[in-house]
Chain A
Amino acid sequence: MIFVVTAICLLPLAQLSFQLASGDLGPDPAKRLMQGTGEWGLRGLAIVLLAAPLAQRGWRGLFRYRRILGLSLYLYVSLHLLLFAQVYVGWSGALLAEELKERPYIFVGFSAWLAMLPLALTSTDRARRWLGRRWKQLHRLIYPATVLAWLHLFWLARSDVGEALVYGAVFAALLSWRVRRARLRPR
């Protein structure tokens, strides 16, 4: 089953690669790939955050595969960052530093990636055992990462904020569910 889930997670990547290979991404493929990988990162966040509320209602289908879902979304976000380095800053450290300093949307996007890095690194069973209770605390970093990722999207919008509003509503619902749960259940 895990192989099937992994395969599903890699489908968007397969589609993007196929489109890239067939020249179907148009004259500026980097832009379409940036959009594609960014969108799947955001969708992945929404899917991962949906796992717990669904589990509470008795359907553990997503909850069981949170690790591969999380790692896959991190793959898309990392490809997004790699493309940015390759196409937009040409691997120039100075230019990257300038972009991070001067452009808030790039800064928050990069911060979101950074916030998720320890989550990806501690996704093994061994790391989980080693960290014990702190593992769960550490993995709450997904919440600020989500907010940062959404800000990244929102600051990118030029004249139409429709997409940012849709993601905003979804994330707000998923995060507020957690706030309510935390209030109901004193630590």
Chain B
Amino acid sequence: MKKRTYTDHSIASSDITPEHIFLNRRGLIKASAGTIAGALATPSTALSEASAQSALSFRADSDRSLVDEQTPYEAVTTYNNFYEFGTDKSDPARHAHAMTTHPWTVKVGGLVDQPGSLHLEDVLSGFDLEERIYRFRCVEAWSMVVPWVGFPLAELLRRFEPKSEGKFVEFKTLYRRGEMRGTRSFTSIIDWPYREGLRMDEAMHPLTLVAVGLYGKTLPNQNGAPLRLVVPWKYGFKSIKSIVEINVTAEQPQTSWQMLQPSEYGFYANVNPEVDHPRWSQRFERKLPSSIFKPNRVPTLPFNGYEEQVAGLYHGMDLRKFY
């Protein structure tokens, strides 16, 4: 595979926070914060995680990448929703290191002609990796811009030859109680494992990515190592992390948030400023990093800014009904 470095003229390398600065800053804070009784501990394990990531080789895909300022690595890897490790944003960075990601196998089955398994090694060597800089919009009204490294989901699915009856694709996250403290919380009302799904045409769309890395390196556990989905025009919860199972199905699969609260989370979950979450508005988002004096509140775009590429998938559908 040809190795090319990523050279997007729009993003200065100075925009990216170098890791050593991040490390230093944290060290200083930790040194001085010792005396305060800590109801709120600092997410410091993220550090060792981050430096443990190995470099990936990939090519830039500027066509589908975004010309936008990227969210610093620190923010992307310390502010996560990964409820298997706790519901606080800093819980995944603190606790996801407990997850074993080697060896890792993804079972692919359901309505496919060639059911089978995919080992992580096959994934890393068998697909051409490319960098895609995507907007990432959480249903909680915050957003980031992330340089992912991955390959189109369509390429993976084609290898297993989906049957024509296959209309949907179902995904499941690893569920390992011993390593995932959030799944042991008995006040949690999520039915594990975490599940997500896409319609076949959404799954085959060129924007739909299987990510194995970010910022040029393998994914940290808290971001869904070793491989996750990224569907940039949908709310973040659709972009399921740490995938162990993929099934092609005829019926629309059940998805975790929809099972939990169907009035608040739909199957489609396309980013849509016109359709509010019942408990908060979706018209604006806080583009992280945000501060209290400069909240960085920006209007949310239809389909998270990917309207031109994906609106056609939903022709004739009432997006208020199919939210």
A30–B78 CB distance below 8 A:
no
CA distance A103 to B288 in the complex (A): 24
B72–A27 CB distance below 8 A:
yes
CA distance A159 to B139 in the complex (A): 14
Q: Mark B177-193, 1 if CB is under 8 A from A, else 0.
A: 00000000101111000
Whole-angstrom distance from the CB of A78 to the nearest CB of chain B?
15
A27–B292 CB distance below 8 A:
no
A160–B187 CB distance below 8 A:
yes
A160–B188 CB distance below 8 A:
yes
Flag whether A178 is at the interface (Cβ < 8 A).
no
In the complex with contacts A28-B142, A99-B281, A33-B292 CB distance below 8 A: yes
A36–B78 CB distance below 8 A:
no
CA distance A15 to B281 in the complex (A): 31
CA distance A96 to B89 in the complex (A): 26
Flag whether B90 is at the interface (Cβ < 8 A).
yes
- Complex contacts, B75 vs chain A, CB 8 Å: 26-27
- Complex contacts, A59 vs chain B, CB 8 Å: none
B289–A24 CB distance below 8 A:
no
A27–B79 CB distance below 8 A:
yes
CA distance A109 to B40 in the complex (A): 23
In the complex with contacts A99-B281, A159-B87, A27-B185 CB distance below 8 A: no
- Complex contacts, B185 vs chain A, CB 8 Å: 160, 162
- Complex contacts, A24 vs chain B, CB 8 Å: 29, 33, 42
Residue of A nearest to B297 (CB): A90
- Complex contacts, A102 vs chain B, CB 8 Å: 276
Flag whether A165 is at the interface (Cβ < 8 A).
yes
Whole-angstrom distance from the CB of B83 to the nearest CB of chain A?
6
Flag whether B25 is at the interface (Cβ < 8 A).
yes
Flag whether A120 is at the interface (Cβ < 8 A).
no
Q: Mark A135-159, 1 if CB is under 8 A from B, else 0.
A: 0000000000000000000011011
B40–A27 CB distance below 8 A:
no
Interface residues on B, range: 35 or more
Flag whether B12 is at the interface (Cβ < 8 A).
no
Interface residues of B: mostly helix, strand, loop or mixed? loop
Q: Mark B261-297, 1 if CB is under 8 A from A, else 0.
A: 1000000000000001011110010101111100101
Residue of A nearest to B32 (CB): A22
A159–B289 CB distance below 8 A:
no
A4-40 CB contacts (< 8 Å) to partner B: 12, 15, 18-20, 22-24, 26-33, 36
A19–B292 CB distance below 8 A:
no
A20–B292 CB distance below 8 A:
yes
CA distance A31 to B79 in the complex (A): 11
CA distance A23 to B26 in the complex (A): 9
Whole-angstrom distance from the CB of A50 to the nearest CB of chain B?
18
- Complex contacts, A99 vs chain B, CB 8 Å: 280-281
CA distance A23 to B33 in the complex (A): 12
Residue of A nearest to B79 (CB): A27
B292–A86 CB distance below 8 A:
yes
Q: Mark A36-67, 1 if CB is under 8 A from B, else 0.
A: 10000000000000000000000000000000
Flag whether A75 is at the interface (Cβ < 8 A).
no
- Complex contacts, B280 vs chain A, CB 8 Å: 99, 103
A86-127 CB contacts (< 8 Å) to partner B: 86-87, 90, 95, 98-99, 102-103, 105
Whole-angstrom distance from the CB of B49 to the nearest CB of chain A?
15
Residue of B nearest to A161 (CB): B187
Flag whether B128 is at the interface (Cβ < 8 A).
no
Whole-angstrom distance from the CB of B197 to the nearest CB of chain A?
18
Whole-angstrom distance from the CB of B289 to the nearest CB of chain A?
4
Flag whether B260 is at the interface (Cβ < 8 A).
yes
Q: Which one of B39, B90, B279 lies within 8 Å of A26 (CB-CB)?
A: B90
A27–B87 CB distance below 8 A:
no
Q: Which one of A31, A36, A83, A95 lies within 8 Å of B40 (CB-CB)?
A: A36
- Complex contacts, B74 vs chain A, CB 8 Å: 27
- Complex contacts, A30 vs chain B, CB 8 Å: 286, 290-292, 295
- Complex contacts, A165 vs chain B, CB 8 Å: 187
CA distance A83 to B293 in the complex (A): 10
Flag whether B208 is at the interface (Cβ < 8 A).
no
- Complex contacts, B78 vs chain A, CB 8 Å: 26-27
Q: Which one of A32, A105, A159 lies within 8 Å of B260 (CB-CB)?
A: A159
Q: Which of A12, A30, A86, A95 has the most CB of B within 10 A?
A: A30
- Complex contacts, B292 vs chain A, CB 8 Å: 20, 29-30, 33, 83, 86-87
B97-142 CB contacts (< 8 Å) to partner A: 142
CA distance A24 to B37 in the complex (A): 15
Q: Write 10 A-B pairs (CB below 8 A) sorted by A numbering.
A: A22-B32, A24-B33, A26-B78, A28-B288, A29-B290, A29-B291, A30-B290, A33-B292, A159-B189, A160-B87
